[in-house]
Amino acid sequence: MQHFDVAVIGAGAAGMMCAAVAAQRGRRVVLIDHAQKLAEKIRISGGGRCNFTNRRVGPENFISANPHFCKSALAGYSPQDFIALMARYNIAWYEKHRGQLFCDRSSEDIIEMLRAECELGNVQWRMPCTVQQITRVETGSEGRYDLATSEGLLQAEKLVIATGGLAIPQLGATDYGLKIARQFGLKVVEPRPALVPLTFDGVQWAEFGELSGLALEANISTGTGRNAPEFLEDVLFTHRGLSGPGILQISSYWQPGEAIRLDLAPGQDMTAALLEAKSGGRQQLGNLLGGLWPKRLAEKWLGEQAALRVADAPDRLLRELGARIQGWSLIPDGTAGYKKAEVMRGGVDTKGLDQRSMQAKTVPGLHFIGEAVDVTGWLGGYNFQWAWASAVACGRSL
């Protein structure tokens, strides 16, 4: 029997950060993970350079059934705070675009930094170690948690679940955190893949599947109303559908059965441009659009009309073409699933958690942090910032 003040299950971004913060504040902490290799999701992120945060982080960059929940944690630990931590370890970084920050050298620098922070607090490691059963034992004070593990029985006054979500199961992702939430009576917002490619019916997509590998910038939106989400990002054609940063962003908002809309000439008035080009003489439609897009897309989009001279095209045809270019509406038949998703949307319902400590309101000493919670960030370092911020809020409260 080994007794600890805090047991943290999950040694990823949130778990290591939380363990380090709590341990450096005097708690006796054990960090448990079932994986053979530490922090694989950090290791592969950002093409191996870890998009560890974003300069511009606000509640509007996150999706949740309770959009206000994330405010407290994000205010308590900012991107600048994490950059300051990296500076203590002399980790160089660079800004890519739209505020996205990456390691100069390797994701390994982040992993080693977090490991070192845990060592500063004398965190005890149990890895690889599986937790077969968790039991809450009521005592005269707040009670404790008994963990039956592959390395024997562990006891802890506080328990933190930092096991992530369902995305990238090939790296060991499971629904463990959601199972524990349900075991203790917490509600779960139905999970689904997010930041994921969208797929289309094979027959519907057959003609565009030939464009696999082609990319261009587009304005992408979905839903209806004044607050319908919209992103200006690159879109990538694939054999099964669409991917690229713009599609990953909109996928987190897309609902099955809804259409997505693409403006393939953002910032332009294509109808006016086509009508104006009509007086320009002998140029063919295919060549005109070929100056705007990759030629393969122009030819596929126009088909037999590619050889039509703009001057000979009826105004009605040009107006229809302009409207379609800037309002291409498609209904995906699904997503590429958790294997291709970067994160999980949904998770432990935040209505059941305290926003300052991440503790379950109805279960003393039980905390949930990181991706297991129903807070999902945009593409671009936001999910790592939520991992750091929720972990620090929890770690300080412990």
Burial class (CB in 10 A: 0-12, 13-18, 19+), 361: exposed
Query: Residue 379's pLDDT is what?
Result: 98
Mean pLDDT calculated for residue range 81-87: 98
How much of the chain, in percent, has pLDDT values that exceed 70? Answer: 99
Query: Residue 278's pLDDT is what?
Result: 86
Distance CA 388, CA 394 (A): 10
Distance CA 107, CA 48 (A): 5
Q: Could you read off the pLDDT of 167-177 as tens digits, one per residue?
A: 999 999 999 99
Query: Residue 254's pLDDT is what?
Result: 97
Q: Of 224-233, 238-247, 311-320, give the lowest mean pLDDT range.
A: 224-233
Mean pLDDT calculated for residue range 179-206: 96
Higher-confidence residue: 1 or 323?
323
> What domains sit in the chain, N to C, each tagged with a CATH number?
2-192+345-397 (3.50.50.60), 198-335 (2.40.30.10)
Strand partners, 20: none
pLDDT beyond 90 at 142: no
Confidence band of 365 (pLDDT split at 50, 70, 90): very high
Closest CA to 199 of 376, 345, 331, 343: 331
Distance CA 41, CA 62 (A): 20
3-state DSSP assignment of residue 322: helix
Mean pLDDT calculated for residue range 95-117: 97
Please name the residue ranges forming H helices in the chain. 13-24, 40-48, 71-76, 79-88, 108-120, 176-183, 202-209, 245-251, 270-277, 285-290, 295-302, 315-325, 382-397
Strand partners, 235: 216
Confidence band of 249 (pLDDT split at 50, 70, 90): very high
Query: Residue 282's pLDDT is what?
Result: 80
Query: Residue 301's pLDDT is what?
Result: 92
Query: Residue 279's pLDDT is what?
Result: 82
Confidence band of 1 (pLDDT split at 50, 70, 90): confident
pTM: 0.96
3-state DSSP assignment of residue 78: coil
